[in-house]
């Protein structure tokens, strides 16, 4: 049908010509017969460029099928209204439109043509996209705030649990301390009698007391005895562990361990502590370990407190043994502080000088342990007493106390026998007895050890010094070691391996002492059992984020996050408890550094961020998040995003290659988890998560169909003994050390 043969319907013709929306008239085969002025202006085609040509001329190719289907429906007499479609202008712009097709009939009432109304909805679509974008942003904010509320609630619950636990511990330790201090004073040897006389005399005198002597000889017990012999006995006895204080904490709020904090760490403000101990006794434990930068503040307070009314009496313990072999305990104190503390002094004898008191001490300690455990004992065997008399007791009274406590628990009859194997022998490092070597690497050794004062096991890492260093080089190395150890010790997240102690040996080696863990690192766990389910990955990933959140917010970043440095352990009754190991290459972003530019790249090639590989000075905590993404990739797929035969080959990929999503290797990985992992693997730091807290919240907010449950964690590889390695299985390799059954996994030791 030609344009000249269009049905003549005058009213409709006026509507057609003057309509404000584009209208095209097509024949029943889809050829354009006519179009109005608005269609010419909208699509940019002249009238003669469209008339006689198929309607598909102005329809994008991907919508040809839709256009033909709508025409067929209209020919059949169906109502076609408000269908979204697309139209193409002469300039190539694609315009979204809302289509309405009407069947036109001739004067005889037969179908003659189709009128297509196309309303331009570009503005509507823009508004729709803006609304969807606003909705997504609102959902993200709601999810973030929900995760923050969950974090806050969990933190409050954890704080309440810790406070309840601390109250219980404080009560128990207070009772134990008040019952046990007399044990230190029993015996009829010359040393024991002199000690009792000194306690009575010092209790009557008003001045401060400095208590010295070897570790384990009863410093706190003597301090309590002097307190109870004084007129202050009804007032508080407050203990502050000086070994846990550092310069960054000296202005912080007080965190007292009171009657029995058991040496817990915390910040300390002298004025606040004085207020708590006012009228009583302030006991400064291990004052010789007080950092030099804190000593002037303590000295000023000790001198100035005399004008503060009824102030606390100060008693301080000072260990006469040294840990570095370079200075005595007295030399560790400034002369002003030593003078301020030294009104009266008492030196405790080592147990080896009180051999005559051993029968009385053993009897008193046995009664106490038997009463605490509900057992009936009738002394030790004569053979045990003979062994005790010939032993040199390097751990002094604390070692005897710990030894008898274990012996009472093992006893099967009324007489307690302590075999010679239980008596200590071997090397000593900073008060720790090295029991068994559990690994060795290029930089040093790791030993299972016990402390003279404590029964708990520990992991002692000995680090060999760099050979051929001069005196200045050794001094600089020691200063750096101590700085890194202090910042590591300041971390308090339960998911960061706890550093108990550090120091140096007379032969020039450094050592760390850390908690002794039962479990396996993720590197060896994946080699043994293969990829983990998504729920378990999120469970472990969230814990790693918690550790890094504290470190990053303190201005520290790890620089060597790898599967080998994430340790999954059984802690108490909790399974799949993750610990981040080895902040040994930690960098403090807050502190200036006088180190020379590094000629080595810190980290492990398979998890190193591009900016770390390039040695950029502005590399920061986001490099740890990149590495954490690599480890999550490893947990999901048992492979790293970039692998190669050489470090250089891996580094090239980190710089230039795009990582495939984990689901490309292991089908079934949730798409949301895919996106979270690849987000961490962005090449530019600014394109990754802003911080570990943000990443942790996104991990927490990620909802899975099958989340990881406590019973699954227990059954995973903790309970099934047939799945565990032999007790003596160990691994020794360049990247670290691993051992089962009381595992301590220590990698990337302090780097020189």
Return the active site residues: 560
Let me know: does 454 contact 397? Beta carbons within 8 Å: no
Report angle CA 473, 584, 318 to the nearest 5 degrees: 75
The distance between the two most distant Cα atoms of the chain, rounded to a whole number of Å, is: 136
Let me know: does 70 contact 80? Beta carbons within 8 Å: yes
How far apart CA 262 and CA 257 sit, in angstroms, is 7
Q: How does strand 209-213 pair with strand 344-347?
A: parallel
How far apart CA 304 and CA 321 sit, in angstroms, is 30
**Helix/strand/coil for 303:** helix
Number of neighbours of residue 681 by Cβ within 10 angstroms? 23
Strand order in the sheet with 746-747: 730-733, 736-739, 746-747
* 732 membership: H or E segment, kind and range: strand 730-733
**Helix/strand/coil for 441:** coil
Q: Measuring CA to CA, which residue among 2, 62, 72 is closest to residue 30?
A: 72
Let me know: does 413 contact 384? Beta carbons within 8 Å: no
How far apart CA 630 and CA 315 sit, in angstroms, is 52
Residue by residue, DSSP assigns 133-172 as: HHHHHHHHHHHHHHHHHHHHHHHHHHHHHHHHHHHHHHHH
How far apart CA 751 and CA 178 sit, in angstroms, is 45
How far apart CA 745 and CA 14 sit, in angstroms, is 87
CA atoms within 13 A on the CB side of 30: 16
Place of tokens 């190719």: 61
Q: Which two tokens stand for residue 405?
A: 């406590």
């Amino acid at each position: 049908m030609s344009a000249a043969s269009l049905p003549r319907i005058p009213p409709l013709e006026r509507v057609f010509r003057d309509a404000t929306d584009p209208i095209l008239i097509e024949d029943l085969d889809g050829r354009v017969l006519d179009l109005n002025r608005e269609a010419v202006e909208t699509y940019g085609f002249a009238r003669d460029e469209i008339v006689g040509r198929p309607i598909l001329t102005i329809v994008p190719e991907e919508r040809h099928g839709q256009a033909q289907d709508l025409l067929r429906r209209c020919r059949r007499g169906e109502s076609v209204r408000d269908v979204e479609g697309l139209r193409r202008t002469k300039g190539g712009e694609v315009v979204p439109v809302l289509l309405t097709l009407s069947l036109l009939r001739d004067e005889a009432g037969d179908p003659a043509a189709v009128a297509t109304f196309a309303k331009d909805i570009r503005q509507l679509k823009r508004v729709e996209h803006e609304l969807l974008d606003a909705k997504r942003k609102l959902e993200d904010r709601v999810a973030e705030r929900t995760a923050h509320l969950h974090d806050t609630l969990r933190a409050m619950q954890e704080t309440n649990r810790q406070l309840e636990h601390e109250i219980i511990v404080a009560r128990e330790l207070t009772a134990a301390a008040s019952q046990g201090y007399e044990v230190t004073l029993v015996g009829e040897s010359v040393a024991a009698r002199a000690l009792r006389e000194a306690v009575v005399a010092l209790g009557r005198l008003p001045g401060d007391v400095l208590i010295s002597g070897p570790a384990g000889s009863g410093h706190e017990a003597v301090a309590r005895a002097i307190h109870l012999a004084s007129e202050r006995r009804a007032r508080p006895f407050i203990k502050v562990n000086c070994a846990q204080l550092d310069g960054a904490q000296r202005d912080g709020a007080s965190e007292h361990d009171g009657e029995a904090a058991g040496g817990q760490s915390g910040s300390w403000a002298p004025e606040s502590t004085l207020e708590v101990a006012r009228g009583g006794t302030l006991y400064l434990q291990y004052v010789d370990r007080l950092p030099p930068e804190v000593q002037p503040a303590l000295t000023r307070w000790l001198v100035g407190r005399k004008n503060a009314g009824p102030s606390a009496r100060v008693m301080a313990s000072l260990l006469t043994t040294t840990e570095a072999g370079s200075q005595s305990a007295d030399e560790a104190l400034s002369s002003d502080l030593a003078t301020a503390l030294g009104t009266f002094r008492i030196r405790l004898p080592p147990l080896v000088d009180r051999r005559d008191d051993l029968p009385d001490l053993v009897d008193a300690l046995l009664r106490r342990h038997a009463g605490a455990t509900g057992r009936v004992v009738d002394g030790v065997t004569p053979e045990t007493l003979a062994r005790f008399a010939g032993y040199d007791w390097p751990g002094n009274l604390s070692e005897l106390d710990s030894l008898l406590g274990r012996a009472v628990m093992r006893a099967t009859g009324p007489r307690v026998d302590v075999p010679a194997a239980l008596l200590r022998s071997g090397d000593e490092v900073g008060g720790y007895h090295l029991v068994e070597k559990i690994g060795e690497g290029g930089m040093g050794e790791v030993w299972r050890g016990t402390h003279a004062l404590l029964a708990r096991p520990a992991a002692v890492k000995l680090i060999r010094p760099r050979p051929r260093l001069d005196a200045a080089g050794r001094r600089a190395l020691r200063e750096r070691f101590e700085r890194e150890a202090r910042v590591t010790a300041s971390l308090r997240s339960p998911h960061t391996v706890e550093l108990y102690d550090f120091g140096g040996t007379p032969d020039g080696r450094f050592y760390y002492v850390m908690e002794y863990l039962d479990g396996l690192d993720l590197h060896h766990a994946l080699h043994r059992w293969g990829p983990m389910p998504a729920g378990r990955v999120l469970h472990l990933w969230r814990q790693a984020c918690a550790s890094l959140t504290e470190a990053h917010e303190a201005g520290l970043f790890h620089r060597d996050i790898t599967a080998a440095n994430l340790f999954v352990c059984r802690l108490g009754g909790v399974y799949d408890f993750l610990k981040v190991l080895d902040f040994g290459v930690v960098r403090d972003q807050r502190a200036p550094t006088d180190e020379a530019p590094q000629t080595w790249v810190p980290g492990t090639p398979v998890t190193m961020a591009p900016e770390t590989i390039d040695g950029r000075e502005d590399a920061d905590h986001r490099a740890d998040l990149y590495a954490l993404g690599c480890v999550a990739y490893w947990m999901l797929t048992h492979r790293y995003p970039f692998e190669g035969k050489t470090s250089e080959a891996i580094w090239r990929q980190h710089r230039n290659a795009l990582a495939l999503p984990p689901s490309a290797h292991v089908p079934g990985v949730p798409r949301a988890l895919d996106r979270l992992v690849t987000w961490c693997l962005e090449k530019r730091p600014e394109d990754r998560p802003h911080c570990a807290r943000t990443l942790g919240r996104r991990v927490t907010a990620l909802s899975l169909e099958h989340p990881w449950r406590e019973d699954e964690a227990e059954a995973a590889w903790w309970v099934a003994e047939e799945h565990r390695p032999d007790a003596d299985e160990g691994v020794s390799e360049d990247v670290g050390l691993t051992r089962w059954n009381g595992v301590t996994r220590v990698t990337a030791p302090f780097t020189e």
